[in-house]
Structure 1
Amino acid sequence: MSRLEEIYYEAKADKWLKRFAVFCRVALAVAFLIAGFVKIMGERFAAGLPSNNPLGHYFDALYITGYYYTFIGIGQVIIAILILIPRTSLLGALMYFPVIINILVLTYATRFDGTREVTMMALANLFLLVWDYDRLKHILPFKQPETDAPVVKKPLGVRLRIIFFGGSFAIVAFIIAGTFYLFEIVPGNSEAECINQCATSKNPAACKVFCDCIYKQGKPLDSCLAAFNKAKDLRKVDGK
């Protein structure tokens, strides 16, 4: 057994990491249960998000797809239940992963303010897949070497928890800081939020052009970004 496998099996036996795995399962399940029941009840998801918001356009279109919208909700509830049950948690995590990756790409593409939370959900899902590697490896498309019963020869002890939780904290901090500086301008969750960022923007006038394009004209995000960049270029020309 390799050193990496030793660390893996030691982690699997650690009570704090077990609790963290349960926390991830519950948190992911709750998120999908809420989202799923909203769809099953026939309500628009993220009802407070304006229709002219880039992600609001998507939710409006999804909402009027009839029983497909309900089907998505039922699927999310089923996945949530599967991930909660220990015996089916791996199946739930496998089904959860492509869905959350799709949502993750969607939130980045539309510059949604909830990108941080969705990124953390995707990482939590990935953690659960790694957590169940001892079961998952049997369906992976490559031959698994025969190994003896797991015996940890050099346990890390408390250092394992420090490394894991310290690393997790560092990743969360990086996500929060990274997404904050990722985009020069974002639509926010409302027109007021969008305009508020203009006060600290390097190009307040261009920022207002962007917000007006999003919320008053209702144009696509790419068109409004083009208008924003054009307004910036005009300011540079005028400043010369």
Structure 2
Amino acid sequence: MSRLEEIYDAAKSDKWMRGFAVFCRMALAASFIPAGFVKIMGERFAEGLPSNNPLGHYFDALARTGYYYTFIGITQIIIAILLLIPRTSFLGALMYFPIIVNICVLTYATRFAGTRLTTMLLMASLFLLVWDYDRLKYLLPLRREPERMRPIREDRRLRILFFGGVFAILAFIIVGTSYLYEIGPGNAEDECRNQCPSRANPVACQAFCDCIYVQGQPLDSCLARFDRAKNIPTRTAPSAAAPGGR
């Protein structure tokens, strides 16, 4: 632990990493402020998302929960304010983390096209918790050694490794989520149907989009239909000339 804490102290003293922590706090706050105001005003979140979209079903139901919907909005605004104030940023990060975990699982469960963004927000939230390890450790059941002064040495290699790791994680999220699902509903009917021509079985893909946006069926039911339909070979039109004909 002493070696890890030496690395931690070196990271906390690096101005580039401190700037990155400020950027993460601002990004997380920016993600909650508009979402919170929409809920406080009583408007449906993500108005452009059709009701028949799997996540649209959820937003429609959530908007009809009365003052619970308002409570969520107020909580998001409070967390955003806490994140922006240096003295309360740790409390804001603690409150933000379980909420973004829930949102991230929700977007993956509904195959929402914005899973990349929610995953990045989750990683930024996790980074802020690690960044405030000097406060977080008092909440964890860890054996703590007596505090003592440790020499802080600037380590440029640590900075390079850190930001290299950040870019690697971003690349993994962007590329990995592109191949995560065989098919998804997209954010609109047109987006769903535009993916069909490149599919091995376009007919099954079109049937999946019909199931979601025309019939309004649950995602699991539509995925089950797609799995059955994609195994049925598509029929091709017979050739105009018989084999061997002229």
Interval containing the TM-score (normalised by the shorter chain)? over 0.9
**What's the counterpart of residue 163 of structure 1?**
161
TM-score (ref. length: structure 2):
0.93
**What's the counterpart of residue 13 of structure 1?**
13
RMSD: 1.4
Residues 130-169 of structure 1 aligned to structure 2 (within 5 Å): 130-152=130-152, 155=153, 157-169=155-167
CA–CA separation in structure 2 for the residues paired with 1:187 and 1:63: 21
Q: Which amino acid aligns with 1:220?
A: P
**What's the counterpart of residue 185 of structure 2?**
187
CA–CA separation in structure 2 for the residues paired with 1:84 and 1:123: 18
Q: Which amino acid aligns with 1:6?
A: E
TM-aligned CA deviation for residue 147 of structure 1: 3.7
* Distance 1:143-1:3 versus aligned 2 partners, 3 A rule: closer
**What's the counterpart of residue 202 of structure 2?**
204
Q: Which amino acid aligns with 1:85?
A: I
Secondary structure of 2:112's aligned partner:
coil
Q: Which has the higher helix share?
A: 1
Secondary structure of 1:199's aligned partner:
coil
Identity %: 69
Residue ranges of structure 1 left out of the alignment (5+ in a row): none
Conserved in 1, the CA contact under 8 Å of 2:14 and 2:154? no
Q: Is structure 2 residue 220 aligned with structure 1 residue 222?
A: yes
Q: Which amino acid aligns with 1:175?
A: I
Residues 1-240 of structure 1 aligned to structure 2 (within 5 Å): 2-152=2-152, 155=153, 157-235=155-233
TM-score (ref. length: structure 1):
0.95
Aligned length: 236
Secondary structure of 1:50's aligned partner:
coil
CA–CA separation in structure 2 for the residues paired with 1:143 and 1:2: 12
Asked which structure has the greater CA Rg, the reply is 2
TM-aligned CA deviation for residue 49 of structure 1: 0.1
Secondary structure of 2:137's aligned partner:
helix
Residue ranges of structure 2 left out of the alignment (5+ in a row): 237-246
User: 1:49-80 CA deviation, whole Å, 9 max, x = no partner?
Assistant: 00000000000000011111011000000111
TM-aligned CA deviation for residue 143 of structure 1: 2.6
CA–CA separation in structure 2 for the residues paired with 1:60 and 1:202: 34
CA–CA separation in structure 2 for the residues paired with 1:119 and 1:109: 13
Q: Which amino acid aligns with 1:72?
A: I
TM-aligned CA deviation for residue 157 of structure 1: 2.1
